Amino acid sequence: MASGFAPVDEQLALLKRGVVDLVSEPDLARKLERSRATGRPLAVKAGFDPSSPDLHLGHTVLLRKMRHFQRLGHRVIFLVGDFTAMIGDPTGKKATRPQLTREQVLENAETYTRQVFRILDREATVVDWNSRWLAPMGSEGLIRLAGKWTLARMMERDDFRTRYQNQQPISIHELLYPLVQAKDSVEMAKLPELGCDVELGGHDQIFNLLVGRDLMREEGLEPQVCLTVPLLVGLDGAEKMSKSLGNAIAVEDSAKEIYGKTMSIPDALMWDWLLLLTETPETEIAAEGRAVAAGERHPKAVKQRLARDLVAQFHGESAARDAEAEFERIFAAGGLPDEIPEATLRGPQPLHGLLTEAGLTPSRKEAQRLIDQGAVSIDGDTVRSWSTELQPRPEPYLLKVGKRRFLRLRIR
């Protein structure tokens, strides 16, 4: 027996941390046993469609599970979905995604492949592109692939079924997406330099992953194990983390932004974040929960621990200490940041437009919501009307949005 791999029960304990679906655990245990016996690491695939240029902490939940496999000595394949991104994954969508051009996909992919190595071990990661086998498939290959599945089985997907029942459009190309993703698993399993023993994905991807398992079996290949992780709830404590919803922490955010945004999350959210975004032992998380429930530990102290951990992951321990010190000085003592960005915009125009144009809010609708909630101030005074206009004046206005975002704004 090879000595390079930990006992199977130890491997399973780490791999099952924070997992939603595991299809199936006996299959995974058997593959891990074989891996120990032969000394061959498992080939673990996760696909990422570069549909936007930035990764956020929600993406890192899956990346961290990939890192768990790497820590155990297995081979991780980071599959760039440069072909599938041009289709647009319909998972969880209430409307058809805009289709991206090849140029947009490649531009986004460049940022993805830079950011993922903040989590993954670069030397232990294989990067490949699914256009390598999907592009040569051609129209005939696509038609033959479509013939392997029925419309009735495709409509078992919750999002497709819901959109159909609500008379919302479903484009034909969207129905092809699960099959094309499954084709990745089939083709990778046939390539000796890749392989596909396990496929990882978000919980909303389980249908697609299971299609791959079925097609592999149909092709006479050993079916992949399907393992999914939860969808990370964003800063608002309600919706899945998304840049478009303005509730995300980007992987490339500054140390101060990561710390401040983390401190803003609802207390109830920090337990899942500790489990999914840190290596804090589950026994410690449970102990912290009991201490908070008993009134023996303040929730803020737990959240500070979480914020320090997240900053340290991306910027180092020193930056984490500095970010915490500045947060305490600004928000506990009522001070201002040492550095406040400045901008100059044309005016006068309504405040909700200025906030959006200055990048303080992702949309005018979000700006209106924050103003209605009393979360926006000008020169220290809370603003209640989003139609408030800022007139040109010699000195800049000091804008504060929420608890963390400051801007000195000049109106010309």
pTM metric for this prediction = 0.77
DSSP state of 2: -
Cα separation, 207 vs 157, in Å, equals 7
The per-residue pLDDT of the chain, averaged, comes to: 87
What residue segments make up the domains of the chain, in order of their start? Answer: 8-229, 255-332, 342-411
For the segment 139-181, what is each residue's pLDDT rounded down to a tens digit? 898 889 888 888 888 888 777 888 888 888 888 878 888 899 9
For residue range 306-320, list pLDDT tens digits in order: 999 999 999 999 999
Does a cis peptide bond (omega within 30 degrees of 0) precede residue 348?
yes
Among 133, 149, 14, smallest CA distance to 73 is for 14
pLDDT of 384 over the 90 cut: no
Q: What is the pLDDT of residue 310?
A: 97
Count the helices and strands in the chain (H runs, E runs).
17, 11
Q: How confident is the model at residue 186 (pLDDT cuts 50, 70, 90)?
A: very high
Pair 168, 159: CB distance under 8 Å? no
Tokens describing residue 276? 């999914």
Check residue 1 and give its pLDDT. 38
Hey, what are 139's tokens? Answer: 């129209």
Per-residue pLDDT tens over the stretch 44-59: 999 988 777 778 999 9
Per-residue pLDDT, averaged over 16-29, amounts to 96
Cα 9 to chain center, whole Å?
28
Query: Cα–Cα distance between 299 and 304 in angstroms, integer?
Result: 9
410 pairs with which residues across the strands? 344
Query: Which residues have CB under 8 Å from 168's CB, separation 6+?
Result: 94, 95
Q: Kindly state which CATH superfamily the domain 8-229 is placed in.
A: HUPs (3.40.50.620)
Q: Which fold has domain 255-332?
A: Tyrosyl-Transfer RNA Synthetase (1.10.240)
Strand 405-411 to 43-48 pairing: unpaired
Question: To which residue do tokens 């484009």 refer?
Answer: 171
What's the confidence (pLDDT) of residue 398? Answer: 83
Locate 398 and state its tokens.
């000091």
Q: What's the CATH number of domain 342-411, 3.10.290.10, 3.40.50.720, 3.30.930.10, 3.10.450.50?
A: 3.10.290.10
